[in-house]
Amino acid sequence: MSKIGVFICHCGENISATVDCEKVAQDIRKVEGVEYAIDYKYMCSDPGQTLIKDAIKEHHLDGVVVGSCSPRMHEPTFRKACAEAGLNPFLCEMANLREHCSWVHEKGEATTEKAFDLVKMLVEKVKRNKPLDSIKVPITKKALVIGGGIAGIQASLDIANTGHQVILIEKDPSIGGHMSQLSETFPTLDCSQCILTPRMVEVAQHPNITLYTYAELDSLEGFIGNFTAKIRLKAKSVDHKKCTGCGACFQKCPQKRIPSEFNAGLGTRTAIYVPFPQAVPNKPVIDREHCNYYKRGKCKICEATCPTGAIEWDKEDEILTEQVGAIVVTTGFNVKGADFFPEYGYGQYKDVITGLQFERLASASGPTLGEIRRPSDGTIPKKIVFIACAGSRDEAKGIPYCSKICCMYTAKHAMLYQHKVHDGESTVFYMDIRAGGKNYEEFVRRAIEEDHVNYVRGRVARVYEKNGKLIVKGVDTLLSGEQVEIEADMVVLATAGVSNCGAEQLAQKMHISYDPYHFFAEAHPKLKPVETNTAGIFLAGACQAPKDIPETVGMASGAAVKVAGLFSNNELVREPLIAVVNRSAPPVFSTCVGCFMCQTACPYNAIEREEIKGRDGKVIKTVAKVNPGLCQGCGTCVAFCRSKSIDIQGYSNEQMFAEVMSLLNH
């Protein structure tokens, strides 16, 4: 015979405004199995919880139903209180009288009746509850960071400095990301590589960080604390253990005209190459798509030149399997190219370039060694037009959002140009100036007031080429829409920031959410910016949305601390509300017939096969078994099972039917 205690909460006025809590408590007292019932103003408060604890002890309760708010709010609170009073916490359930009743109905008899019904349902359920224990799962204290830009570098260093192991993988031959392509960073005009490369070297040398470049995530399985990651180490064709980074090979490589990705297509590289002089690791890889040997079986000059015999022609991709406990995704972003713009020439005008390409021109390690020169004829442009919002804030082009960083980097580019070409004239066509960070507004004012960059408010309708010049047709909306035409030598488009290529596939491999623009989804836009909806996978940097370096670094450190927090426990505690396949005495052993439909149905691969053997070692039958570490308690298997041999602890079929019957037998 059950002895259930029922506690009805007024929740201040949230519930009592429409539900007669006293009446519910009185009526429920009459239900068979209810030993004690009371109503109180704030059950979750200290005195409220004491009420529950005292009642458990005084009346020897073997079950508790709290009729109050959503379990999402206070289930842990009440279960803890019960545990403190000596009652198994899983014998405590909550009836949601607030979100499911008082908040959605008007005051009246019907509302109170519904509240009573809800509580009665839970009473019937709790009568059939069994005491359960939390499942403890070990945690692998190793982190995987995917993406070696500034976000990945920062996150790796922070996690490594807490004493945990980190695996950092990067798909390009070197870490550094877009920040290594920048010339200077705003608002300080620090040389970008000068502040980045020390961190890159730190990553390479840190004892707790294992760096794999030219590597990608192949597949991911598992759950928080227990992921199995398969990493594809792409064949570099160069044995980095033998290579000393002397550089003799790429000096001799005959394939010299491959467009350099690092120089955003403005410069060239060889087939065997190091992307830039400060690359980490500073050892080359062979681009098999362009290498003479892989394409036509000829050449092999690099092998002949190499003093240590480091070239490995027949090397194949390797798959490395690693167990990790947490993952930080820092795969960064991309920018649209000039070919995205029909009105600016479909990419056919060589002197219409993107902001990233301008960075490479301005950079001392770039194709023009830091001089601003026209890609078409190499002359120094005397008039440059910068077009802000190229593609961003443009619904017609499918990019309605603002790319955040362009106003700042456009001001920076104009300033750099003015500093390098003193008699040059620069004009920026803008719609708004978004300079919200620390010292950002002052930076833009400097461009306008000290470096005399012309800011014109209006967009550019089109750009076309005539006699080697670019005719820019813009407008000044602050002068009531006066048309402005400029004959420029170069046009720089601040193109929209978009998700990196392969973002969708990566998100699907990891089972994390992403938005329509393929930026990865944070768990809560305000309060959980570095977490995803998938436990154990964290985000940092521009893969979540375009952002600048300080925000990226902040997020990376934030993600790192989440990982460190996770690793500070020895075990993960999981709720025992999982599926179990029944077991009984011989000769039945289990009603499971071994059809394994549950295994097919399980989305989490949580069902295994178990062989039941006799004393002689012979297999009597093979039945299904649930892995308590993987099961998420979704119940799909229960729906599939034909013999009803599998059930969810705490949400059994019997309990569900009892709840329904309690409503029908009103």
Partner 1 sequence: MENKNKISGEIHSHTGVEVARCYQCGKCTAGCVLASEMNFPPSYLMRLLQTGTEENYDRILRSNTIWLCLNCENCLGRCPMEIDIPKIMDYLREQSLNKKKVNRDANPIVSFHKSFLDSIKYTGRLYEVGLIAAFKARTFRLTQDVKLAPKMYLNGKLNLLPEMIKDKKGIREIFSKTIDNPKTKNK
Partner 2 sequence: MKIGFYPGCSLKGSSREYNESVVAIAKALDIELVEIKDWNCCGATAAHSMNEELSLSLPARILALAEAQGLKEVVVPCAACYNRLMVTQHELKDNNKRERVTDIIKMPYSGDLKIINVLQMLETYAMDKIQEKVTKPFAHKVACYYGCLLIRPHKILQFDRVEDPQSMDAMVKLIGGTPINWAFKTECCGAGLSVSRTDLVAKLSGNILKDATERDAKAIIVACPMCQSNLDMRRGAINETLSNPSDIPVIFITQAIGLALGLSPKELGLERHFVNVKL
Q: Is 214 left (phi over 0), alpha (psi -120 to 50) or beta?
A: left
Amino acid residing at 30: K
Residue 167 phi, psi (nearest 5): -110, 125
Nearer to partner 2, 275 or 345 (CB): 345
Residue 633 beta carbon to partner 1: minimum distance, rounded to whole angstroms: 42
Based on the shown chain and the rule CB under 8 A, indicate whether residue 471 belongs to the binding site for partner 2. Answer: yes
Strand partners, 190: 185
DSSP letter, residue 481: S
**Three-state SS at 87:** coil
Query: Which of the choices partner 2, partner 1, none does residue 474 contact, using the CB cut-off of 5 to 8 A by kind?
Result: partner 1
Residue 476 beta carbon to partner 1: minimum distance, rounded to whole angstroms: 8
Residue 258 phi, psi (nearest 5): -80, 130
Based on the shown chain and the rule CB under 8 A, indicate whether residue 464 belongs to the binding site for partner 2. Answer: yes
Q: Which of 28, 217, 243, 389 binds partner 1 (CB under 8 A)?
A: 389
Q: Which of 60, 300, 419, 462 binds partner 2 (CB under 8 A)?
A: 462
Helix%, strand%, coil% for the chain, nearest 5: 30, 25, 45
Based on the shown chain and the rule CB under 8 A, indicate whether residue 385 belongs to the binding site for partner 1. Answer: no
d(CA 442, CA 188): 11
Strand partners, 384: 426, 490
Amino acid residing at 29: R
Based on the shown chain and the rule CB under 8 A, indicate whether residue 487 belongs to the binding site for partner 2. Answer: no
Residue 347 beta carbon to partner 2: minimum distance, rounded to whole angstroms: 11
Query: Which of the choices partner 2, partner 1, none does residue 395 contact, using the CB cut-off of 5 to 8 A by kind?
Result: partner 1
For the chain, the C-alpha Rg in angstroms (whole number) is 32
Q: Which of 241, 422, 438, 466 binds partner 2 (CB under 8 A)?
A: 466
Touching partner 2, residues 488-527 (CB under 8 A) = none
Helices 549-567 and 150-161, axial angle in degrees (round to 10): 30
* Interface stretch with partner 2, choices 144-152, 352-360, 409-417, 460-468 (CB under 8 A): 460-468
d(CA 61, CA 3): 5
Binding characters for partner 2, 431-450, by CB under 8 A (x = yes): --------------------
Strand partners, 495: 390
Based on the shown chain and the rule CB under 8 A, indicate whether residue 343 belongs to the binding site for partner 1. Answer: yes
3-class SS letters over 488-532: ECEEEEEECEEECCCHHHHHHHHCCCECCCCCECCCECCCECCEC
Q: Alpha helices, DSSP H only, in 539-652?
A: 549-567, 597-601, 636-640
Closest CA to 539 of 371, 399, 333, 373: 333
Q: How far is CA 43 from CA 65, 68, 104, 131, 146, in A?
A: 12, 8, 21, 23, 45
Query: Which of the choices partner 2, partner 1, none does residue 471 contact, using the CB cut-off of 5 to 8 A by kind?
Result: partner 2
Nearer to partner 2, 342 or 614 (CB): 342
* Interface stretch with partner 2, choices 255-263, 459-467, 486-494, 647-655 (CB under 8 A): 459-467
Residue 345 beta carbon to partner 2: minimum distance, rounded to whole angstroms: 8
Binding characters for partner 2, 109-148, by CB under 8 A (x = yes): ----------------------------------------
Based on the shown chain and the rule CB under 8 A, indicate whether residue 497 belongs to the binding site for partner 1. Answer: no
Amino acid residing at 453: V
Query: Which of the choices partner 2, partner 1, none does residue 465 contact, using the CB cut-off of 5 to 8 A by kind?
Result: partner 2
User: Could you count the other beta carbons within 10 Å of the beta carbon of residue 51?
Assistant: 17
Query: Which of the choices partner 1, partner 2, none does residue 466 contact, using the CB cut-off of 5 to 8 A by kind?
Result: partner 2
Query: Which of the choices partner 2, partner 1, none does residue 664 contact, using the CB cut-off of 5 to 8 A by kind?
Result: none
Q: How many residues of this chain interact with partner 1, rule: CB under 8 A?
A: 23
d(CA 118, CA 9): 13
User: Could you count the other beta carbons within 10 Å of the beta carbon of residue 585?
Assistant: 6
Please state whether beta strands 497-499 and 142-146 pair in parallel, antiparallel, or not at all (unpaired).
Answer: unpaired
Touching partner 2, residues 397-426 (CB under 8 A) = none
Sign of the four-CA dihedral 372, 376, 380, 382: negative
Beta carbons of 9 and 43 less than 8 angstroms apart? yes
Amino acid residing at 86: G
Based on the shown chain and the rule CB under 8 A, indicate whether residue 665 belongs to the binding site for partner 1. Answer: no
Nearer to partner 1, 310 or 472 (CB): 472
- Tokens 């309990």 sit at which residue? 655
Based on the shown chain and the rule CB under 8 A, indicate whether residue 483 belongs to the binding site for partner 1. Answer: yes
Binding characters for partner 1, 94-123, by CB under 8 A (x = yes): ------------------------------
Q: Which of 80, 252, 469, 473 binds partner 1 (CB under 8 A)?
A: 473
Based on the shown chain and the rule CB under 8 A, indicate whether residue 471 belongs to the binding site for partner 1. Answer: no
Residue 402 beta carbon to partner 2: minimum distance, rounded to whole angstroms: 24
Touching partner 2, residues 336-355 (CB under 8 A) = 342-343, 345-346
Nearer to partner 2, 456 or 470 (CB): 470
Spatial neighbors of 297 by CB under 8 A, at least 6 apart, are none
- Tokens 């019997």 sit at which residue? 654
Touching partner 1, residues 569-628 (CB under 8 A) = none
Touching partner 1, residues 390-419 (CB under 8 A) = 393-397
Chain centre to alpha carbon of residue 431: 31
Q: How many residues in the chain?
A: 666
Query: Which of the choices partner 1, partner 2, none does residue 640 contact, using the CB cut-off of 5 to 8 A by kind?
Result: none
Residue 481 beta carbon to partner 1: minimum distance, rounded to whole angstroms: 4
Based on the shown chain and the rule CB under 8 A, indicate whether residue 491 belongs to the binding site for partner 1. Answer: no
Nearer to partner 1, 302 or 388 (CB): 388
Residues of this chain that interact with partner 1 (CB under 8 A) are 343, 389, 393-397, 431, 457-462, 473-477, 480-481, 483-484
Task: Write out the residues near partner 2 by the rule CB under 8 A.
Answer: 342-343, 345-346, 462, 464-466, 471
